[in-house]
């Protein structure tokens, strides 16, 4: 077992047997670094390709920026009318109350911003963000992201949710978080009480990339959330040498569903700086999704999604099964199908 203290410095990663101190410190000069004890405890120290370590332990390849990579890969900045708001689609928007996380994924698409000097929105900035939402009656859904919104203390989380719940046109509030997996002790009765709404419906999207992340403490936290009536979605990023095999994805999505998480999105990795060593070509991702079609039921199937660089939104990029009157079954068999569906 590792120390119960979050690892942030090279000497701490070295003492835990996870990385050379110098490598961690060099990467930390540019990008935020943190790994919780729960995740550090899951690393198999005798496996140099451990998928948990690969996601959270700094790597010098992060300091190499490919020509196609961008500081703002999905174009958040162009759609931010006020600080803390990204309004890309008419009926929904992102609210980022803070830019800190319990852990920092080495492939994060906001890695140029998270964990730095830009902390939580202050009172005036949060008021301005809420006023923007109040003024835009077309906004049906507010997605609270970050950073990790469940880093907020329960009283602040409750106050934020109450403010959104009081806006009549906001029907859905969706939280995106790694905390149930990365720091499950934060999912305590006080936090669950803070997540209860009077009117709107709350959904929680849990970021998880490998079945081993669903440790006993994580499962307990997820059961507490679903037991409180909070529906859970699963967000996964397709990552080289983490989950880029059919068997690994199958195990992950089965584990999610067994723990009351509906796999929602399998993300093609965004073009964030220093992430080329994680990138899986789209064609490989499509082949994986085709193989999964016959191996797991529909409830285990996420949508394979690409967030178009430059802020043009998300689109599904899964394999096509019907083209020019020929439909392919899950085993690769080809069958005629009338163009008009008659």
> Any idea what DSSP says for residue 148?
-
Nearest CA-CA partner of 224 in 186, 197, 275: 186
Residue 332 token pair: 């690769």
**Distance between CA atoms of residues 120 and 117, nearest Å:** 10
25, 76, 149, 221 from 285: Cα distances, Å: 33, 25, 29, 30
SS3 assignment, position 337: coil
Peptide bond into 147 cis (omega under 30): yes
Residue 165 token pair: 């719940």
Nearest CA-CA partner of 107 in 145, 57, 49: 57
Catalytic residue annotation: 88-89, 92, 101, 105, 108, 110, 270, 307, 314
Residue 312 token pair: 């043009």
Q: What DSSP string describes 257-303?
A: HHTTEEEEEEEPPP-BTT-GGG---HHHHHHHHHHHHTTS-GGGPPE
Rg (the chain; Cα; Å)? 20
Residue 125 token pair: 């900035």
**Distance between CA atoms of residues 207 and 272, nearest Å:** 18
- How many residues are listed for the chain in this entry? 342
């Amino acid at each position: 077992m590792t120390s119960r203290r979050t690892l942030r410095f090279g000497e701490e990663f070295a003492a835990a047997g996870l990385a050379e101190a110098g490598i961690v410190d060099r990467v930390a000069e540019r990008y935020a670094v943190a790994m919780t004890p729960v995740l550090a405890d899951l690393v198999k120290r005798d496996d140099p390709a451990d998928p948990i370590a690969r996601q959270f332990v700094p790597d010098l390849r992060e300091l190499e920026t490919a020509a196609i990579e961008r500081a703002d890969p999905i174009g958040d900045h162009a759609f931010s009318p006020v600080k803390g708001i990204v309004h890309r689609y008419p009926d929904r928007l992102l609210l980022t109350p803070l830019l800190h996380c319990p852990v920092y994924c080495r492939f994060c698409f906001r890695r140029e911003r998270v964990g730095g000097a830009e902390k939580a929105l202050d009172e005036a900035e949060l008021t301005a963000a809420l006023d923007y939402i109040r003024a835009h009656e077309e906004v049906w859904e507010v997605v609270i992201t970050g950073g990790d919104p469940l880093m907020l203390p329960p009283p602040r989380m409750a106050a934020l949710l109450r403010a959104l719940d009081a806006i009549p046109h906001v029907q859905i509030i969706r939280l995106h978080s790694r905390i149930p997996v990365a720091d499950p002790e934060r999912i305590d009765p006080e936090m669950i009480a803070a997540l209860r709404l009077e009117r709107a419906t709350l959904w929680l999207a849990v970021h998880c990339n490998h079945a081993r992340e669903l440790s006993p403490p994580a499962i307990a936290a997820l059961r507490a959330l679903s037991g409180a009536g909070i529906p859970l979605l699963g967000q996964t990023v397709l990552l080289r040498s983490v989950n880029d095999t059919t068997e690994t994805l199958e195990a992950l999505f089965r584990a999610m569903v067994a723990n009351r998480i509906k796999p929602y999105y399998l993300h093609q990795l965004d073009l964030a700086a220093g992430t080329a060593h994680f990138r899986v070509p789209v064609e490989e991702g499509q082949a994986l999704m085709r193989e999964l079609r016959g191996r797991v039921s529909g409830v285990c199937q996420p949508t394979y999604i690409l967030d178009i660089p430059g802020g043009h939104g998300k689109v599904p990029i899964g394999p096509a099964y019907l083209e020019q009157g020929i439909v392919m079954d899950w085993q690769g068999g080809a069958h005629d199908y009338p163009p008009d569906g008659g």
